[in-house]
Structure 1
Amino acid sequence: MDVIMRSLPLLLLVLTSSLGQETPKRGSLLYPYGISEGDKTTPVLDDGASLELAISVDFKFFSQTYKSLYVNNNGVISFKIAVSQYTPDAFPLTNGQTFVTPYWGDVDNELTGMVYYRESTDTSLLQTITRDMEQYLTDLHFTATWAFIVTWDKVAYYGSKSSKVNTFQAVLTTDGNRCFTIFNYEDIQWTTGTASDGDASTGLGGISAQAGFNSGDATHYFNIPGSRTNEILNITSTSNVNTPGRWVFRVDDFKVPGGCAFQANFAKVGETFWKDSGCTSKCQCEATGEVTCVAESCPQSTNCRSSGPYFQCKVQEKICF
């Protein structure tokens, strides 16, 4: 955990747009947000967070039930305590902290941007979420009865000397029994603040943002591909439901639609990979969400190479003299 205390920059707040006028652009994956939608905002404060927010439903996350949460400026929704940490640690965090992290990075909305949130039972919103879920999870017949929406709108990174901003959204939703999260990524231009060794001019490098889930123990956690690497910059083009920029998860009994959660990482249905650095155990993600593995080594003329969180047997490169 970071223990560095940072003094607040003596900068005037610069808003990129007027409060109450934030609405998703045409074709956006984002659900409606902003003051005009009844949203509240977190404090305009580097590493700030909301107060503890009571919610009107029991929300189950990794089999534990919660009745309150915190919205944290640094891209985290947490269930037990507020999170001021700005450099993301690798999951799992085993100190009991429970995170939903659409994009855990060093947000500084004192420079620019706002963090909006609301609890909602609005019929129109719930119907839209239901239609989306029916598109992705046709066999579950999910009907949303409640949602909690958090939107990080055009937020800057700490130490920024550029105009780069990120816009993304996390949605918690339930039908009164099953619980899901939806992550929507509108525009991702930076990965790292300067206190996490990022470049002030580019917002890149250093320890990049983390996306995923942490239950607080050593077993139940998940990383979206690219987390804590520069590849997280491309999250707007990735998905587990064939909609670039959107990820959907069942979180009461954790499942990843469209693939498998194996060793806390994602594999698409039908994907084959080797789980070990020696490429001795070949695995495949089945349509059931289970991974099956058999003893099988790389074919001749191939080498075992790292490929994302797993390994692949790749053709040996020819060396010309």
Structure 2
Amino acid sequence: MEGIENDTSNPLILMCDCMKAYEGNYCEDDFDGCTEVSCFNDATCTDVPAPGTGATCPPCPSGYTGDGIVCNNERGEVFLPFLYPSNYSVFTDVVDGSANVALPATLQFGGISYNIAYISSHGLISFGSVYNAYIPRNFPLDNNLAVVAPYWDDSILSGSRQLRYQIVSGSSSLISQVNTFLSSFIEDNFEADWLLWAYWHDVCSYDDSICSEHESNFFQVTIAVQGSVTYSIFTYQCNLIRWTLYNAAVGYSVNGTFFENHQLSRNRSVVNIDCKGAVSNWTNVVYRIDDLSTTANTPPVIEASENFMIAVGETALYTLRITDPGDSISVTIEFDGELPYTFNQDGSIWTLNVTLSSLVEFNFTVIATDSFNATSTITPQ
């Protein structure tokens, strides 16, 4: 047409985000809040129907207080269950491999800064460089390696076996859960800037890739970062660690000098790591890994009576509360004399059960040792 020129226009593309309570191409579906919530002890989660948001959990069980997601027992202990981000990446169909993740900010590990993580199919995370060794070793590792290992063993990701991972930041309810847990654990306020989350889901050993001889393993790690402070949280659910091929390693190592081996690491009993917190159904292993070299270590604190009384023919209980915020503890008992006894743990509470069948003289000492070999003792009279 005369006086009119043809030209190509740039199309205008508009994208809209659904309100928090909805999802779908046209925001027509009710978003299931339970995809972001794990109720305490695997209780049934109930979605709050749109336009409401979130989810609800049943009340905490007897002896616990909280919102049903995070429950504190009456002694003030908190357990972190499995976390379930609403979105995550999946790494699968791999024999020996790692998923690389660019970190949103610098992560401090053993006094060294890292900006990239490699999450291995073999139950570990390395920082700065790939590390896919399938046979676990005691820590420390070589000087150029930085590794966090919730359950390092020769696993294979095939079929439905998955490694799930995600960076979590912002106002996520998962960050709130981690903040509540860590603040209680270290007995100080903690507010994570971001999390690196990984979940080894339904994994089998290399020699039994379809888990025909034993059931699969499930475990998680959450790396929580607040500025220059870094915590690593290993999470296990009772009865979901069912195999070890080469005696799995649990702990961390960086630069060959900053490291820790869990007390069950590289031992056939490592398969029992998941039921340490049998009352809560969860076990958490927590390490502060940024750099403790400039921080004065304090030994474990033992709270117990200085006196212990028992009569012939009786069975008596002696209860201790043993804590060391931000550190792991091993507890032993030394008896001067031969008496039948049991020594049991429930979180930070240890109970000695002694039976005195005849008139004999005896005494005992309880010894608590942290990862830096700082020791506290008590010998009741």
Secondary structure of the residue that 2:174 maps to in structure 1?
A: helix
Q: Cα distance, 1:216 vs. partner? A: 2.9
2: distance between equivalents of 1:291 and 1:243? 29
- Give unpaired runs (5+ residues) of structure 2: 1-34, 43-80, 301-322, 335-364
1:190 equivalent among 201, 221, 243: 243
- With over 3 angstroms needed to count, the CA separation of the structure-2 counterparts of 1:288 and 1:74, relative to structure 1, is closer
- With over 3 angstroms needed to count, the CA separation of the structure-2 counterparts of 1:162 and 1:80, relative to structure 1, is same
Q: Cα distance, 1:100 vs. partner? A: 0.4
1: distance between equivalents of 2:128 and 2:242? 30
Q: Give CA deviations for 1:6-47 in whole Å, capped at 9, x if unaligned.
A: xxxxxxxxxxxxxxx8985762510114xxx21102242111
TM-score by length of 1: 0.66
Q: Give CA deviations for 1:146-193 in whole Å, capped at 9, x if unaligned.
A: 11100001111111142510000000112223211111012101111x
Q: Indicate the residue corresponding to 2:97 in structure 1.
A: 48
- With over 3 angstroms needed to count, the CA separation of the structure-2 counterparts of 1:213 and 1:69, relative to structure 1, is same
Contact conserved, 1:260 with 1:286, CA < 8 A, in 2?
no
TM-score by length of 2: 0.56
- With over 3 angstroms needed to count, the CA separation of the structure-2 counterparts of 1:167 and 1:90, relative to structure 1, is same
Q: Tell me, yes or no, if structure 1 residue 94 matches structure 2 residue 142.
A: yes
AA matched with 2:236: Y
Q: Cα distance, 1:285 vs. partner? A: 4.3
1:62 equivalent among 110, 123, 137: 110
1: distance between equivalents of 2:39 and 2:213? 23
Q: Which moved more, 1:22-31 or 1:74-83?
A: 22-31
2:253 equivalent among 184, 209, 214: 214
Secondary structure of the residue that 2:190 maps to in structure 1?
A: coil
Superposition pairs for residues 1-321 of structure 1, below 5 Å? 27-28=41-42, 29-33=81-85, 37-51=86-100, 53-123=101-171, 124-138=173-187, 140-160=188-208, 161-186=212-237, 187-192=240-245, 207-217=246-256, 219-238=257-276, 244-254=282-292, 258-259=323-324, 266-268=328-330, 285=368, 291-292=374-375
Identity %: 23
- Of Structure 1 and Structure 2, the greater strand share is in 2
- With over 3 angstroms needed to count, the CA separation of the structure-2 counterparts of 1:154 and 1:26, relative to structure 1, is farther
**Structure 1 segments of 4+ aligned residues over 3 angstroms from their partners:** 21-26, 254-262, 270-273, 282-290
AA matched with 2:182: M
Secondary structure of the residue that 2:155 maps to in structure 1?
A: coil
Q: Cα distance, 1:231 vs. partner? A: 0.9
- With over 3 angstroms needed to count, the CA separation of the structure-2 counterparts of 1:225 and 1:143, relative to structure 1, is same
2: distance between equivalents of 1:75 and 1:151? 9
Q: Cα distance, 1:260 vs. partner? A: 9.2
Q: Give CA deviations for 1:185-223 in whole Å, capped at 9, x if unaligned.
A: 12101111xxxxxxxxxxxxxx31101001131x31111
Secondary structure of the residue that 1:134 maps to in structure 2?
A: helix
Q: Cα distance, 1:235 vs. partner? A: 0.5
AA matched with 1:291: A
Contact conserved, 1:261 with 1:289, CA < 8 A, in 2?
no
Q: Give CA deviations for 1:208-246 in whole Å, capped at 9, x if unaligned.
A: 1101001131x311111211111100001236xx98411
Q: Cα distance, 1:122 vs. partner? A: 3.9
1: distance between equivalents of 2:366 and 2:243? 34
* Count of equivalent residues: 240
Higher CA-based Rg: 2
2: distance between equivalents of 1:125 and 1:227? 28
Contact conserved, 1:70 with 1:81, CA < 8 A, in 2?
yes
Contact conserved, 1:50 with 1:72, CA < 8 A, in 2?
yes
Contact conserved, 1:105 with 1:210, CA < 8 A, in 2?
yes
Say what the alpha-carbon RMSD is for the aligned residues: 3.3
Secondary structure of the residue that 1:234 maps to in structure 2?
A: helix
Q: Cα distance, 1:88 vs. partner? A: 0.5
2: distance between equivalents of 1:71 and 1:157? 17
2: distance between equivalents of 1:163 and 1:22? 30
